[in-house]
Structure 1
Amino acid sequence: MLLALFTKPHPTKESFPMAVNKRARRLTAVAVVAASAMLALAGCAPGSGPTTAKTSGTVSTSAPKGKVTLNIYDETGFPVTQDLADEFTKQYPNVTFKLTRDSFQNLLANTPRILSGSDAPDLIRLSTLGTTVKDGLLTNLDPYFDAYDWKKFPAGQLAGARMNSKGVRGDGSLWQFGIGYSVTGIYMNNELASKVGITEVPTTMDELEADLQKAKDKGVLPIQTGMQDGVGTFTLQALINQYGDKQKLVDWMFNKPGATIQTAAALKGASTFQDWAKKGYLPSDVNAINYTTMVSNFTSGKGLFMWDGNWDAANVDKALGKGKAQFFLQPGVKADSKYVAMGTGNTFAIPSKSKHADATAFFLNWIATNKKARQIVVDVTGAAPGGDPSEALPTVASGTLTKQALDLSAKVGEDDGFVDFMANSTAGIYQGSLQPNEQLLLTDKLSPSAFLKATQAFYEKDLAAK
């Protein structure tokens, strides 16, 4: 998805006795930023496509002069850009912004047209590169990387925003920049947990499955999720992440030659996901529930667990009440398993037709380095600001889900456990394959092996069309 669907931030206990997973208590403040910086999307190597604007290295890092209007094309439901724009204008009154928003689906379908048009924006929400680099539609950010000394950022933060000359993500030139970095995990309704006899968060897959059965036996819906728009992929990938070498999945998502989703880990994950549906752990109408409904259902007390991202931390705290929910990471097979979690930057790109590339890059650098901007990113999205780990941490209230998520993000970083979202593997795989075929998987109309075969076939077809 951009995972636009999956990385979409929303506006943003007396401690519950089960509290935060005990393995996350040792975190330090510096680790929070360093770990959160491990998330990102991809970009492309010098000469990997038609020459785009600003590849010579002759860029300006000076504040914009004169009257400037920066046009941002953003995703509906991503409010942070407006808050950041307002603060930037306070600090630089000569710069104003025009924001245009559209749905994830429309953005995905119309991005090439938007980028190639004569009125292309200066900054656009772009989660999946697709053929935009090859087609010369983006500004190469390498000169800005050098000029702003972004080498101070942890390499992993920008790794996914790179792409080489063969179209493989993970290295090469930089084409995208993240505004806030996410981590996905599991929300738990503390009141329902107490009701079914759960006293602490599960630390292994066996404990998690035992808790699911406890909830089912007590008449409580174990998992609140939905597959109408594919959000259930959070749960599927969280399972796949635990059953094998994450690098194989990363290679597949980054489009390395010969990579496949047809692995033992993916088969175990898909089989478990289907089994959970058969056992009644998911809503009976799972294929009729979309992302918004899933969150609404969970925050109204319908479901013990919900697989979701840190961007909903403030929403859950507000709806259920402080201390009424818990955020923890997907447990591994063993108690000492290293954490693996989906996480990525909310990535934006500067179109090659931007009329104000230097000013836009200045704005992006400001977001990563300015104290007020970094605070806005955390306050509005619940996501870590990323950037140089030596930058001061934004203030986050203790006891909140946002604080829990940031601390746990650091733990994933310590374990080098961040991976991208499956739905970002190709431009069309989310809507064209994952979403419809997971619906069939959960209704037992497609076997796990057939699901993976169909996913790989679509993946290869989509890549061949680049």
Structure 2
Amino acid sequence: MSRSGARAAAGGRKTRTAAAVLATAAGLALTACAPGGSAPAATPRAAVSTEIGTEQIELSLYNSQGSKAKTEALIKGFEAEHPNIDITARYDPDNVVSQNLPRLLSSPDSPDLALSTGAVVDNVRKGLLVNLEPYAEAYGWDALPSSQLASARVSAEGIQGQGSLYAMPDGFTLTGMFYNKQLAAKLGMDKPPASVAELEALLAKAKDAGITPIMTAGQLGLGTTAYQDLLNNELGPQKVNEWIYRVPGSTIDNADGVRAAQTLKKWVDAGYFNDDANGTSQDASYSRFADGEALFMFQGNWAVPILAPGMKDNLGFALFPPVEEGGPVAAMSGPASPFAISAQSEHPDAAAAFLDWLRSDEARRIAVDNGLAPVGTADQELPPVKAGTVEEAVQQGFRQLSADNGLVDFVQNATAGIQVNAWNPESQRLFGGQASPQEFVTAVQRVYESELGK
């Protein structure tokens, strides 16, 4: 991007030793159009290269305040390997990043690198982001499991999850089943359940032993987590993602969606959840689970820093099991900070080098140190973590998920208001006995279509 008063070159420059890879990129900044619209004209760019030279380059980066510590560590590590590149970061409060990003990307002082939020389709349609496909080819990003990059893709028809790549994540969240190892041992559970049938047998055994099988925070509609775990198995990761990414014709109001809701309702009726689920807050669910009140809690790896200090080695983690033992796993997982390159950047090659560095051993270690699962292939060596800890279980779970290409976005992300207008109230109605499984999925699908203007 255009800058005045650029910083003078400092000492300690180095040349990137990797061979240059050139790719024709006349359509690098080609942007997608909204469904029913026409694609804007492409902005031609020169061929891309993985060589970034030795001249001093200044880049700017925009991210959320909550990601500052992690992002600063990434910047420090990258600059240590590329001393001719200086990255200056700006951070805004987490709750204003989404509304500020389009304005910043379209301003004369646009950041070179920016957090790509849920409005990626709109930002691509407006021509604000660089199409990363030539860089993906040059750097070999296509070797990554496709589900790790699905949320950062946008098609020429304006459909997320398909088409060209527009961002690279720095790590991932991961959902699964936290479990109390001491309670599990009392029930004879010496390893996580390998199938839904094994899980249901454990839930029944816990209930018979007077142990709450699953702790959930229904006050926030987190019964939805259990429903999506079941939906991922019934409908399949691809179809669930298509629904979340608004692919025309997508629905959960079908036999698969209802079957998942029927299983959830069966669990509710069997007393497999805390009986006050609809009145339980998230904080209360954490403390009650940590105090040993339940065998399982279906949550994400963001809960590790909350649960681990008190539970220590008593805290276990496993992915939600497939229907049949040995089948592919699927789990909700989202990119922590997916970074995009501004279409106004004057140094897209240098910015792309930062994106590629997010796959490095050092960047993967930083992701793990910040409680995330790292970007990478399933056969890459995991960053070191203490053996036998919940942190190790999370990393091993993500490796398995990557091997099965089973990353699924969160159903709460399907539309801007669907969590508040559908998932929260409708899951509470299902848990409270005011809605049947069919009524539950029909109501959610109705809100989904209403918010999409169908």
TM range (shorter): 0.7 to 0.9
Structure with higher RCO (Cα < 8 A, 6+ apart): 1
Matched, 1:375 2:359: no
The number of aligned residues is 418
Pair 48,225 (structure 1): closer, same or farther in 2 beyond 3 Å: same
Give the % identical residues: 34
Please tell me whether Structure 1 or Structure 2 has the larger radius of gyration of its CA atoms. 2
CA RMSD of aligned residues (A): 3.5
Unaligned 5+ runs, structure 2: 1-27, 34-38
Q: Distance in 2 between matches of 1:165 and 1:151?
A: 19
1:168 aligns with 2:194: no
Q: Is contact 1:54-1:140 (8 Å) kept?
A: no
| Residues 56, 433 of structure 1: alpha-carbon distance in 2 compared, 3 angstrom cutoff | farther
In the TM superposition, residue 195 of structure 1 has moved relative to its aligned partner by 4.1
Where do residues 246-325 of structure 1 align in structure 2 (5 Å cutoff)? 246-291=237-282, 293-313=284-304, 316-322=307-313, 324-325=314-315
Q: Secondary structure at the match of 1:243?
A: helix
Aligned to 1:448: 437
| Residue 221 of structure 2 corresponds to residue 237 of structure 1 | no
Number of the residue aligned with 2:66: 76
Residue 430 in structure 1 maps to residue 419 in structure 2: yes
Q: 1:386 aligns with which of 367, 370, 376?
A: 376
- Is the 1:215–1:304 contact (alpha carbons within 8 Å) kept by the matching residues of 2? yes
Q: CA deviation at 1:382?
A: 3.7
Matched, 1:223 2:214: yes
Other-structure match for 1:48: 32
Cα pair distance change 1:197/1:101, threshold 3 Å: farther
Change in CA separation of 1:157 and 1:57 when aligned onto 2, cut-off 3 Å: farther
SS at match of 1:131: helix
Distance 1:435 1:51 in 2: 38
- Secondary structure in 1 matching 2:184: helix
One of 353, 359, 375 as aligned partner of 1:362: 353
Give the Cα separation in 2 of the matches to 1:134 and 1:222.
Answer: 46
Which residue pairs with 1:342 in the alignment?
332
The change in CA–CA distance for 1:200 and 1:397 in structure 2 (over 3 A counts) is closer
TM alignment of 1:16-31, pairs within 5 A: none
* Aligned-pair CA distance for 1:190: 0.9
> Tell me, which stretches of 5 or more residues in structure 1 are unaligned?
1-43
Aligned 8 A contact 2:172 2:373 in 1: yes
* Deviates further, 184-193 or 349-358: 349-358
1:405 corresponding residue in structure 2 = 394
Question: Structure 1 CA distance, aligned partners of 2:346 and 2:283?
Answer: 36
Counterpart contact for 2:29–2:45, Cα < 8 Å: no
Conserved 8 A contact 2:154-2:160:
yes
The 1-side partners of 2:154 and 2:301 are apart by 27
- Alpha-carbon distance in 2 for matches of 1:210, 1:263: 27
Partner of 2:370: helix, strand, or coil? helix
1:142–1:416 distance in 2 versus 1, CA, 3 Å? closer
* CA distance in structure 2 between the aligned counterparts of 1:285 and 1:264, rounded to whole angstroms: 29
Distance in 1 between the 2:101 and 2:150 partners? Answer: 22
Could you tell me whether the CA contact under 8 Å between 2:30 and 2:42 is conserved in 1?
A: no
Once structures 1 and 2 are overlaid, which stretch shifts more, 328-337 or 166-175?
A: 328-337
C-alpha distance 416-150 of structure 1, shift in aligned 2 (>3 A): closer
Q: Using a 3 Å threshold, how does the CA distance of structure 1 residues 185 and 48 change in structure 2: closer, same or farther?
A: same
Tell me how far apart the structure 1 counterparts of residues 202 and 223 of structure 2 sit (CA, whole Å).
19
**Partner Cα separation in structure 1 for residue 41 and residue 183 of structure 2:** 54
> Structure 1: how far apart are the matches of 2:376 and 2:290?
28
Alpha-carbon offset, residue 354 of structure 1: 5.4
Give TM-score scaled by structure 1 length: 0.76
After TM superposition, the structure 1 stretch with the greater mean CA deviation from structure 2, 269-278 or 62-71, is 62-71
Distance 1:373 1:454 in 2: 43
Post-superposition offset of 1:296:
4.3
Tell me the distance in 1 between the aligned counterparts of 2:108 and 2:196.
52
In structure 2, how many angstroms separate the alpha carbons of the residues matched to 1:396 and 1:287?
36
TM-score, structure 2 normalization: 0.78
SS at match of 2:91: strand
Alignment match, 1:8 = none
In structure 1, the residue corresponding to 2:204 is in which secondary structure? Answer: helix
Q: Partner residue of 1:10?
A: none
